[in-house]
A and B are shown apart, each in its own frame.
Chain A
Amino acid sequence: MSDAVLTPDDVAGHDVAAHDDHGHHETNTGISNNKLAMWLFLSSDCLLFGALISTFLLYRTNISDNTVWEEPADVFDIPFTSLSSFILLMSSLTMVLALSAVNRDDQRNGRIWLLTTAFLGMVFIGGQVYEFTVFREEGLGFGTNTWTSAFFTLTGFHGVHVSVGILLLLGTVFGTRKSGLGKEKGETVELVGLYWHFVDIVWVIIFTVIYLIPIG
Chain B
Amino acid sequence: MAIIEEPLALEAGEDAVARVERPLGDLTRPQADGSWKDWLFTVDHKKIGIMYGVAAMFFFVIGGAEALLIRIQLATPNGTLLSPEVYNQVFTMHGVTMIFLVIMPLAAAFANYLLPLQIGARDVAFPRMNALSLWIFLFGGIFLNTAWLFGGGADGGWFNYAPNSSVTFSPSNGIDFYALGLQITGIASLVSAINLITTVMNMRPKGMTLMRMPIFTWMNLVVQFLLLFAVPVISIALFQLTFDRLFGSVFFNTEAGADPLLWQHLFWIFGHPEVYILILPSFGIISEVIPTFSRKPIFGYKFMVISGVAIGFMGWGVWAHHMFVSGIGPISVAAFSLSTMFIAVPTGVKILNWLATIWGGRLRFTTAMLFAVGVVSMFTIGGLSGVTHSIAPADTQQTDTYYIVAHFHYVIFGGALLGIFSGFYFWWPKMFGYMLNERIGKWNFWLQIVGFNVTFGPMHILGLQGMSRRIDTYDEDFGFEFWNLVASIGSFIIAAGIAIFFYNIFYSRSQWKKAGMPNPGPDPWDARSLEWMTASPTPEHNFDEDIVVEGPDEFWHRKYGYDENHNVVRIATAEEVAQDGSNTNVHLPSPSYYPIVLAAGLPIIAYGLIFSLWLCIPGAALLIWGMVGWIFEHPDDPNAAHDHHDDHHDDDDPEALETGDDDDDAKELVAASADAGDEN
Chain A residues at the B interface, C-beta cutoff of 8 Å:
1-6, 9, 11-24, 27-29, 31-34, 36-38, 40-41, 43-45, 47-48, 50-52, 54-55, 58-59, 62, 64-65, 141-146, 149-150, 152-153, 157, 160-161, 163-164, 167-168, 171-172, 175-176, 178-180, 182, 184-185, 187-188, 191-192, 195
Q: In the complex where A22-B668, A64-B256, A171-B631 touch, is A143 in contact with B125 (Cβ < 8 A)?
A: no
Task: Give 7 CB contacts A-B under 8 Å.
Answer: A17-B635, A44-B232, A51-B266, A51-B269, A55-B240, A62-B257, A65-B256
CB A199 to nearest CB in B, in angstroms, measures: 10
Q: Are B251 and A150 in contact (CB under 8 A)?
A: yes
Q: In the complex where A15-B635, A18-B664 touch, is A146 in contact with B670 (Cβ < 8 A)?
A: no
A75 to B630, CA, bound (A): 44
A33 to B258, CA, bound (A): 43
**Which residue of A is nearest B586, CB measured?**
A4
- Residue B5 at the A interface, CB < 8 A? yes
- Residue B34 at the A interface, CB < 8 A? no
Main secondary structure of the interface of A (DSSP, over half): helix
- Residue B653 at the A interface, CB < 8 A? yes
Q: In the complex where A13-B645, A143-B256, A146-B251 touch, is A44 in contact with B663 (Cβ < 8 A)?
A: no
Q: Are A40 and B674 in contact (CB under 8 A)?
A: no
Residue of B658, B667, B677 touching A191 (CB-CB under 8 A): B667
Q: Tally of A-B residue pairs with Cβ under 8 A?
A: 255
Central interface residue in B202, B251, B546, B632, by most chain A CB within 10 Å = B202
Chain B residues with CB below 8 A from A150, complex form: 251
**Which residue of B is nearest A64, CB measured?**
B257
Chain A residues with CB below 8 A from B671, complex form: 34, 37-38, 41, 191
Q: Are B233 and A185 in contact (CB under 8 A)?
A: no
* Residue-wise interface mask of B (608-647) relative to A, using a CB-CB cutoff of 8 A (1 in contact, 0 not): 0000000000000000000000011001100010111110
Chain B residues with CB below 8 A from A31, complex form: 202
Residue of A9, A65, A192 touching B653 (CB-CB under 8 A): A9
A150 to B230, CA, bound (A): 20
Central interface residue in B9, B125, B250, by most chain A CB within 10 Å = B250
Chain B residues with CB below 8 A from A9, complex form: 653, 655-656
- Residue B54 at the A interface, CB < 8 A? no
Q: Are B250 and A164 in contact (CB under 8 A)?
A: no
Q: Are B262 and A179 in contact (CB under 8 A)?
A: no
Q: In the complex where A22-B664, A55-B262 touch, is A48 in contact with B232 (Cβ < 8 A)?
A: yes
Chain B residues with CB below 8 A from A141, complex form: 248
A146 to B257, CA, bound (A): 7
A9 to B3, CA, bound (A): 16
Chain A residues with CB below 8 A from B587, complex form: 16-17
Q: Are B677 and A164 in contact (CB under 8 A)?
A: yes
- Residue B51 at the A interface, CB < 8 A? no
**Which residue of A is nearest B7, CB measured?**
A6
Q: Are A51 and B237 in contact (CB under 8 A)?
A: yes
Closest CB pairs A-B (n = 4): A164-B677, A51-B236, A48-B232, A17-B2
Other than A4-B5, A43-B228, give 11 A-B pairs with Cβ distance below 8 A: A20-B2, A20-B3, A32-B202, A33-B198, A45-B678, A65-B256, A143-B253, A144-B250, A153-B239, A160-B680, A175-B631
A45 to B679, CA, bound (A): 11
Residue of A3, A11, A47, A149 touching B545 (CB-CB under 8 A): A3
**Which residue of B is nearest A189, CB measured?**
B667
- Residue B19 at the A interface, CB < 8 A? no
* Residue-wise interface mask of B (245-259) relative to A, using a CB-CB cutoff of 8 A (1 in contact, 0 not): 001111101001111
Q: Are B204 and A167 in contact (CB under 8 A)?
A: no
- Residue B118 at the A interface, CB < 8 A? no
Q: Are B678 and A153 in contact (CB under 8 A)?
A: no
Residue of B11, B194, B546, B631 touching A3 (CB-CB under 8 A): B546
**Which residue of A is nearest B642, CB measured?**
A15
Q: Are A18 and B635 in contact (CB under 8 A)?
A: yes
Q: Are A179 and B646 in contact (CB under 8 A)?
A: yes
* Chain B: number of interface residues, binned into ranges: 35 or more
**Which residue of A is nearest B259, CB measured?**
A58
Chain A residues with CB below 8 A from B259, complex form: 58-59, 146
- Residue B243 at the A interface, CB < 8 A? yes
- Residue B596 at the A interface, CB < 8 A? no
A1 to B587, CA, bound (A): 13
- Residue B393 at the A interface, CB < 8 A? no
- Residue B292 at the A interface, CB < 8 A? no
Central interface residue in B6, B661, B667, B675, by most chain A CB within 10 Å = B667
- Residue B201 at the A interface, CB < 8 A? yes
Chain B residues with CB below 8 A from A22, complex form: 664-665, 667-668
* Residue-wise interface mask of B (212-248) relative to A, using a CB-CB cutoff of 8 A (1 in contact, 0 not): 0000000000000000111111011101100110011
A107 to B644, CA, bound (A): 20
**Which residue of B is nearest A40, CB measured?**
B194
A191 to B121, CA, bound (A): 25
- Residue B659 at the A interface, CB < 8 A? yes
A141 to B55, CA, bound (A): 42
Q: In the complex where A15-B661, A64-B257, A161-B678 touch, is A43 in contact with B667 (Cβ < 8 A)?
A: no
Chain B residues with CB below 8 A from A192, complex form: 670
A54 to B269, CA, bound (A): 12
Chain B residues with CB below 8 A from A179, complex form: 644, 646, 660, 662-663
**Which residue of B is nearest A27, CB measured?**
B202
Q: Are B659 and A184 in contact (CB under 8 A)?
A: yes
**Which residue of A is nearest B129, CB measured?**
A37
Chain B residues with CB below 8 A from A20, complex form: 1-3
Q: In the complex where A20-B3, A37-B126, A45-B678 touch, is A11 in contact with B202 (Cβ < 8 A)?
A: no
- Residue B412 at the A interface, CB < 8 A? no
- Residue B190 at the A interface, CB < 8 A? yes
Chain B residues with CB below 8 A from A6, complex form: 4-6, 8
Q: In the complex where A4-B3, A20-B2, A161-B678 touch, is A13 in contact with B256 (Cβ < 8 A)?
A: no
**Which residue of B is nearest A47, CB measured?**
B232
Residue of B6, B257, B648, B661 touching A65 (CB-CB under 8 A): B257
Q: In the complex where A13-B643, A55-B251, A175-B631 touch, is A145 in contact with B240 (Cβ < 8 A)?
A: no
Chain B residues with CB below 8 A from A27, complex form: 201-203
CB B78 to nearest CB in A, in angstroms, measures: 42
Q: Are B243 and A149 in contact (CB under 8 A)?
A: yes
Chain A residues with CB below 8 A from B645, complex form: 13
A58 to B251, CA, bound (A): 10
**Which residue of A is nearest B2, CB measured?**
A17
A22 to B123, CA, bound (A): 12
**Which residue of B is nearest A161, CB measured?**
B678
**Which residue of A is nearest B588, CB measured?**
A17
Chain B residues with CB below 8 A from A3, complex form: 3, 545-546
CB B305 to nearest CB in A, in angstroms, measures: 17
Q: Are A47 and B233 in contact (CB under 8 A)?
A: yes
Chain B residues with CB below 8 A from A40, complex form: 193-194, 197-198, 228
CB B546 to nearest CB in A, in angstroms, measures: 6
A180 to B235, CA, bound (A): 38
Q: Are A48 and B660 in contact (CB under 8 A)?
A: no
Q: In the complex where A22-B667, A146-B250 touch, is A48 in contact with B649 (Cβ < 8 A)?
A: no
Q: Are A45 and B232 in contact (CB under 8 A)?
A: yes
Q: Are B236 and A188 in contact (CB under 8 A)?
A: no
Q: Are A142 and B249 in contact (CB under 8 A)?
A: yes
A188 to B659, CA, bound (A): 11
Q: Are A23 and B677 in contact (CB under 8 A)?
A: no
Q: Are B678 and A24 in contact (CB under 8 A)?
A: no
Residue of B121, B243, B631, B664 touching A1 (CB-CB under 8 A): B121
Q: Are A153 and B663 in contact (CB under 8 A)?
A: no
CB B356 to nearest CB in A, in angstroms, measures: 31
CB A150 to nearest CB in B, in angstroms, measures: 7
Q: In the complex where A62-B257, A175-B663 touch, is A33 in contact with B202 (Cβ < 8 A)?
A: yes
Q: In the complex where A6-B4, A17-B2, A37-B125 touch, is A188 in contact with B546 (Cβ < 8 A)?
A: no
CB B633 to nearest CB in A, in angstroms, measures: 12
- Residue B328 at the A interface, CB < 8 A? no
Chain A residues with CB below 8 A from B198, complex form: 33, 36-37, 40
A104 to B670, CA, bound (A): 23
- Residue B171 at the A interface, CB < 8 A? no
- Residue B673 at the A interface, CB < 8 A? yes
